[in-house]
Every structure is written in C-alpha cells, then in structure tokens.
Amino acid sequence: MKTILTLFLIMAGFQVQLMAQIFDKPSFSLTSHPTLEISSVEKWEDQTVINVSVKNQRISGSFCIDGETFLLNSLGTEEWKMTSMDGIPACPDEYRFKSIGEVLEFSLVFPAIPDEVKYIDLLEKCEDACVSVKYILLDEEMNDLITEGFILYEIGRLSASLQVFEDIMEAEYDNYSPIFGTLYLYLMSIHYELGHSKEGKRIFNELKESSIIGRDDFIEAARDSGMAR
C-alpha cells in the first residue's frame, strides 16, 4: 500500500511539472506587423513558448525570424534570449509563402519567465522589417475581459463592446499599465464608428494627459490611424 501511495505521489508531482499556464490569444498593444498574431503564450516551469501566426499579404512574400530574437520585461530591464524555434527558418533562410492569404504558424521558445512579470515585449534584433510586439499581457482575467469586448466589436455589436471596455476602465484603470493605452484606442475607434466624434476627441485628450507607459506610442498610433491629429 505504501509503495502504491509513493508511486501515486511521484506521478502527481510529475504531472504538475508537465502542466503549463496558457494564455490564449493574449492582448498586446502595438505590433510592427499588422497580420502577426500571438496565438498563445505557454508558461512552463522550465521555458516559455510563444505561439505565433502571420498572414501573407504579398505576391512571393517571405518570412523568417532572426536568431537574436528575445523577450523583454515591458516594465523592467530583464531580457530572455530565444533558445529555439519550430515551424520557421532562422534568417537569412526564409519561408516562402505559396499564396496571398496563406497563414504561417510557428513557435518561439525562451527561458522561463517569473510569475510576477505581467507584460512582455517580443523583439527581433535585425536590420530590416524587424518583428516587434509590445506589451503582451500575461493576466488571464484581464485578457478574458478584453477578448469579450473585442469579439463584440468584431461582430458589429459596437455599443455592447463599448460598455465592456468602459467597465474595464472604470473598475481597473490605474493611469499606468500599458494595456489601458490599447483600451483608449479601442474606445476612440468605437466612438468614431458610432458617430460620437466629441467623445472620441475627449478620450484622445485623456490619453494625452495620462501617465500610461508607452503613452507617446499610443498617441502616435491614434494619429497614424487617422483618429486624431
């Protein structure tokens, strides 16, 4: 009986080690490649796996990832260099797309990230068209709320989506965390689509007066999209 119990405990411990905390389609704020998506972030005990997809929009398009790609703590200075990749060649070798609209899925592996790190940047060190995804949110509850609002936005339920994002801002807003820069952009976009131009301008002014990390990047994104001057 003791032997069976010991074996059970060993197997239970082994299973815990094999379990990962998975963030499906985590929110992120700014990206260098509009068709690049973070499918999931897997936080294992000994490594972090970033699952990515990118959609081709060009005839004879190609894509690769530089071996010097790394993760950065968005709110700190820690860096984690990529240890391996799967499903995509390392530059200068390239994956050549077969058609416009083809989606390439691949995985990037990094060392384990501490649990206290809630925002990470995916950055590629290269000379041209470098991948940059900033403020990837590692907070399951907040990601679920933002996903709910974004799904409503995508299916055209703009007022319902607006309410979700406004509720998040009201309940959680700290005038600091970068994810709220993304929410400002969502709110502005929805208000303009609903014809509420004054509200859109008010929200942009709030963004300019905020202390959000990366504020200037969000202001530039709003201007580049035509939502502000």
Q: What is the 3-state secondary structure (H, E, C) of 136-158?
A: EECCHHHHHHHHHHHHHHHCCCH
- Does a structural domain hold residue 150? yes
Residue 18: pLDDT band by 50, 70, 90 thresholds?
Answer: low
- Give yes or no: residues 111 and 212 share one domain: no
In eight-state DSSP terms, residue 22 is E
The whole-number average pLDDT for the span 208-213 is 94
- Does a structural domain hold residue 97? yes
> Could you tell me what percent of the chain has a pLDDT over 70?
92
- Give yes or no: residues 193 and 131 share one domain: no
pLDDT of residue 34: 87
- Does a structural domain hold residue 157? yes
Residue 225: pLDDT band by 50, 70, 90 thresholds?
Answer: confident
Q: Show Cβ contacts of residue 154 under 8 Å, excluding neighbours closer than 6 positions.
A: none
174 contacts 186 by C-beta, under 8 angstroms: no
- Give yes or no: residues 167 and 130 share one domain: no
- Give yes or no: residues 50 and 110 share one domain: yes
- Domain of 208, CATH number, reads 1.25.40
- Does a structural domain hold residue 229? no
Q: How many domains does the chain have?
A: 2
Q: Report the distance separating Cα 27 and Cα 46, nearest Å.
A: 23
Q: Which of 167, 177, 159, 225 is nearest to 204 (CA)?
A: 225
| Tens-digit pLDDT profile for residues 89-137 | 999 999 999 999 999 999 999 999 999 999 999 999 887 778 999 999 9
Q: What is the 3-state secondary structure (H, E, C) of 158-179?
A: HHHHHHHHHHHHHHHCCCCCCH
Mean pLDDT over each residue of the chain, to the nearest integer? 89
Domain boundary among 137, 152, 181: 137
Domain ranges, residue 125: 19-137
Q: Report the distance separating Cα 134 and Cα 182, nearest Å.
A: 11
pLDDT of residue 218: 93
Show the beta-strand stretches assigned E in the chain: 21-24, 30-31, 36-43, 48-55, 62-63, 70-73, 79-81, 84-86, 95-96, 103-110, 119-123, 132-137
The whole-number average pLDDT for the span 183-200 is 94
Residue 135's Cβ-side half-sphere holds a number of Cα atoms within 13 Å equal to: 20
Has residue 6 got a pLDDT over 80? no
Domain boundary among 137, 166, 192: 137
Q: Report the distance separating Cα 37 and Cα 50, nearest Å.
A: 10
- Domain of 108, CATH number, reads 2.60.40.4170
State pTM to two decimals: 0.84
Tokens linked to 111: 């060392």
pLDDT of residue 2: 45
pLDDT of residue 215: 94
| Tens-digit pLDDT profile for residues 76-98 | 999 999 999 999 999 999 999 99
